[in-house]
Structure 1
Amino acid sequence: MKMTGFTKSLGLTMLAAMLVLSACSGGGGNGGNGENAGTGNGSGESDAPAGDTTLSIMWWGTDARHEATQKALEIYTKQNPGVTFKPEFMAWDAFWQKLPTLAASKTITDVLQMDAAYIQEYVARGQLEDLSDIDLSGIVDPSVIENLSIDGKLYGIPLSQNAQGLAFNKVELDQYGIPHPHKDWTYDEFFQWARDARAKLPEGKYPIGDTSTWDGFNYYQTAMGKPPIMSDGGKTFTLDKDLFMKFYQTYEEFRKDQIVPPAEKASAFLENDPQADPMASGVVMTRGATTGSVGALEQLMPGKVGVVNLPTGPAGGGWAQSTIFLSVSANSKNKDEAKKFVKWFIEDKEAGQALGTTRGIPINPEIYAELEPTLEDKDKLGKQIYDLSLDKALPFYSPAAGFSEWVDTYRKEMEAVSFGQQSIEEAFEKIDKMGKELAAKAGG
């Protein structure tokens, strides 16, 4: 799920994005994402000779995911000599910038990676093929398929189990005598932990990052027992003003007390960049991470990463579910082969070995059982996030179709607050007004 925004915001706060979110799903996603983490940029085309069918495919992710996926494509061509691939891969942001253009021209690749943060939007556009006729019995738990169905149909084959959590620099926390975050901590405990940690950290280091994305607040609102901001396919919009003011007034206090980095510094952060990642650079002690994305952080700072679930409220907190999928374009001319391939992607054991945990915990339990004895520390961290999050997890809430502009507006308005350009209440009025208008339009 990079999942999406909150993976970045948690990543820059603690406090998902993750996720799109997932993914979503991670990091994310969100995910984050959530699944928002991605260091690799670029594209590649298969060197294999042209066969009877060429499947175009695109995905986002880290370099490790790119390399593993290309190995899997080679295995498929070896097993199915009549099929070759035209792959394209990139980082999260570049992927979601390109996909709307492809959708507008009806030239989406035959197969594409999809995130829970955006899948409903592309289903509503009629861009994704119904995959309900693919038999996933014995591969994917029926309850997972039921949770992922949209109007009774399946538009994405789930690739992994994912969860949004919080990564922390356990070595530096120990160095400064700061206790580690603990499982199932509440938001009140999280905020107090940040205040206490600030008192022990030297100048230029911060316990948590700031947050400006909608899902960061949505986690808080739903944890407090309120409805998600968007529900009923966007027909219902609920932005609780009292909770909104309380949440962001806390971060306003944190900016004044240097508990979070100043806005100028936060705006320059870039997740998974060795120099600019908020946590790997040693500036922020915590950031958001998903099951699928935390491995990239561990590689940047080996042996220093600990994980915990997101803060909770009376209703629970965070999410743990499938957020990242393979979908098939509704305009594909190779639908039958594409459907065969997406099932193979989660079913074939040789492919499972090649893909490893580059998209999180494999959805196929048989493949994960084979991988488990060989997992590296970076992969075990992803499993820890999932296990720690599961019992308190709430559903993963993706943006409703038609709310993409609102998601961007939310971030821009809250960034304006962090830079001191407007008040929290002014931002609320703009965000709330636009959300209600979109909900009315969806209902009409």
Structure 2
Amino acid sequence: MRRRSTLITLAAALMLTFTMSACSNGGGNAGTNNTPTNEGATPAVTNSGKEGAGEGSAGDSEEDITLRLMWWGSQTRHDLTNEVVKLYESKNPHVNIETEFTSFDGYWEKLAAMVAGNNMPDVLQMNFGEYMTQYASKDVLLDMKPFTENGTIDVSKANEGIMASGIANGQLLGIPLGMNALTVIYDEQMLQDAGVAAPDMNWTWDDWKKAAETVYAKTGNYGTQGLEITNIFEYYARQHGQKMYSEDGKGLGFDDKLLAEYLAMTLEQQEKKTYPSMDVIMQHEAIEDQLIVHGKAPFDFRWSNQVVALTKAANRTLKLAPLPGPDSSKGMYLKPSLFFSISKKSKHQEEAAKFIDYFINDVEANKIMMGERGVPITSTIRETLAADLDETNKMIFDYIDRIGENSSPIDSVYPAGASEISKAMEEIHEQVMYKQLTPEEAAAEFRKRAEEIIARGAE
């Protein structure tokens, strides 16, 4: 941790006082190393600041402090976020930010270990839906409503619907970092080379299958990247008038026939060799190593905020289209791309809130990020960035505007075990693609497992 020169000169004189204080408070420390650990005592938590700001210090003064910040993402996200952190530190010399980042799957394993060891970072990236529900139920995230009410985190120009997505159990547990939507990223040149028309707002799943089969027949390349089962099937259910979960969150919101139909569709494409095998998919898991990046598939299904990293890795222009229809507007929705949350046991809650406010409202910070975590939630930042957008980001901003006009409200009901249910769906999907289960057997098995998980969560 950095120290001001005045503190250095006083260190010797204060050493005895600090030592005695540590003894009287149990001698705990904040555990600010980059590598998470389950060892060490939980730091003492006090409330010495603004009323209603939660546990911990809500009134940090200008003493030197260290914040821990953790996120998941691509190398592009890591590089851009570190640039923003350095800029924030230069403007706030009393703050040192220690960063931790990893892959999506590794992130949740690490966070679970941190929660168990009382070693959570001060500011952490959080995901809408099952993970927000899971950590809200653990009561480890801070209600940030007091910080938005007193202006520490300024959300006065933020989209109200997106802000509401950060509320769980009646508390504001996540500040959205951007707006997002599912998209099909496509390589127009690859399609042209195969004599295939580019997708438009009205294309269908039949169009997707025909295009994929034509690309494979004419070029030998895959016709598509593999589809991420949970998010894409949720869209598929919505476009067919169903939902992932029931309105009360106590059951599934779709029938087995629909899931079996979807699984049969992907299996059929794999059998036609337009769709990669699970082994190939697992060899290309990093966003920088996707099949479309290497020119081996013309289509890639993912979230719009990942287009920046994907385009950078591909080093060529890629285009965007909504997911296939019919009735894509029933399936499509705007989603908070990501949240920043604050640990309920952070010793520096107000400083953590100030960093989040900087991240969403500072023009320089947003010019660095340029929508990597989604289209900015505040109208003033969107308007400021519009003039300086490169081709890729202008396309993303325009796409979000288009989807906002051609979509339906997001489903926000998730049972407490939703993340475990998502893993179960991934597992049964793999079993179908490896031909260990038929689509019908897999749909029945998934329902059995999902209902067991939901029942355990309700106990």
Matches within 5 A, 1:30-429: 52-117=64-129, 118-135=131-148, 136-199=154-217, 201-203=218-220, 205-211=221-227, 213-229=229-245, 231-232=247-248, 234-273=249-288, 276-314=289-327, 316-397=330-411, 400-429=415-444
Partner of 1:17: none
Q: Can you give the 5+ residue segments of structure 1 that lack an aligned partner in the other structure?
A: 1-42, 45-49
Residue identity in the other structure for 2:140: Q
Q: 1:279, 1:286 within 8 Å by CA — same for their partners in 2?
A: yes
Residue identity in the other structure for 1:238: G
Distance 2:155 2:389 in 1: 26
Distance 2:106 2:393 in 1: 25
**Higher deviation after alignment, 280-289 or 144-153:** 144-153
Q: 1:163, 1:320 within 8 Å by CA — same for their partners in 2?
A: yes
Deviation at 1:319, TM superposition (A): 2.5
Deviation at 1:160, TM superposition (A): 0.9
Residue identity in the other structure for 2:157: I
Instruction: Call closer, same or farther: CA 1:259–1:441 in 2, change over 3 Å.
Output: same
TM-score (norm 2): 0.79
3-state DSSP class of the match of 1:238?
Answer: coil
Instruction: Call closer, same or farther: CA 1:271–1:66 in 2, change over 3 Å.
Output: closer
Distance 1:333 1:143 in 2: 30
Over the residues paired in the alignment, what is the CA RMSD in angstroms? 2.5
Q: 2:173, 2:341 within 8 Å by CA — same for their partners in 1?
A: yes
Instruction: Call closer, same or farther: CA 1:172–1:102 in 2, change over 3 Å.
Output: same
Distance 2:434 2:228 in 1: 11
Identity of aligned residues (%): 26
Deviation at 1:123, TM superposition (A): 0.9
Residue identity in the other structure for 2:276: P
3-state DSSP class of the match of 1:237?
Answer: coil
3-state DSSP class of the match of 2:235?
Answer: helix
Deviation at 1:195, TM superposition (A): 4.2
Instruction: Call closer, same or farther: CA 1:144–1:264 in 2, change over 3 Å.
Output: closer
Deviation at 1:187, TM superposition (A): 3.2
Matches within 5 A, 1:13-24: none
Distance 2:185 2:157 in 1: 30
Q: Which of 1 and 2 has greater Rg?
A: 2
Residue identity in the other structure for 2:94: G
Instruction: Call closer, same or farther: CA 1:155–1:184 in 2, change over 3 Å.
Output: farther
1:332-389 Cα shifts (integer Å, max 9, x gaps) = 1111221222122212223223333222212122222222222222322322432342
Partner of 1:36: none
**Higher deviation after alignment, 153-162 or 351-360:** 351-360
Residue identity in the other structure for 1:368: R
Q: 1:312, 1:318 within 8 Å by CA — same for their partners in 2?
A: no
Deviation at 1:397, TM superposition (A): 4.8
* Structure holding more helix per residue: 2
Q: 2:188, 2:198 within 8 Å by CA — same for their partners in 1?
A: yes
Q: 2:225, 2:299 within 8 Å by CA — same for their partners in 1?
A: yes
1:172-200 Cα shifts (integer Å, max 9, x gaps) = 1111111011114233443444445544x
**Higher deviation after alignment, 105-114 or 261-270:** 261-270
In the TM superposition, structure 1's runs of 4+ consecutive aligned residues that sit over 6 Å from their partners are none
3-state DSSP class of the match of 1:374?
Answer: coil
Distance 1:215 1:141 in 2: 23
Distance 2:393 2:369 in 1: 12
Distance 1:140 1:402 in 2: 30
Partner of 1:29: none
Deviation at 1:161, TM superposition (A): 1.2
Instruction: Call closer, same or farther: CA 1:309–1:272 in 2, change over 3 Å.
Output: same
Distance 2:207 2:382 in 1: 34
1:105-134 Cα shifts (integer Å, max 9, x gaps) = 221100111111411211111111001112
Instruction: Call closer, same or farther: CA 1:263–1:347 in 2, change over 3 Å.
Output: closer
Q: Can you give the 5+ residue segments of structure 2 that lack an aligned partner in the other structure?
A: 1-33, 36-61, 149-153
Distance 1:367 1:259 in 2: 41
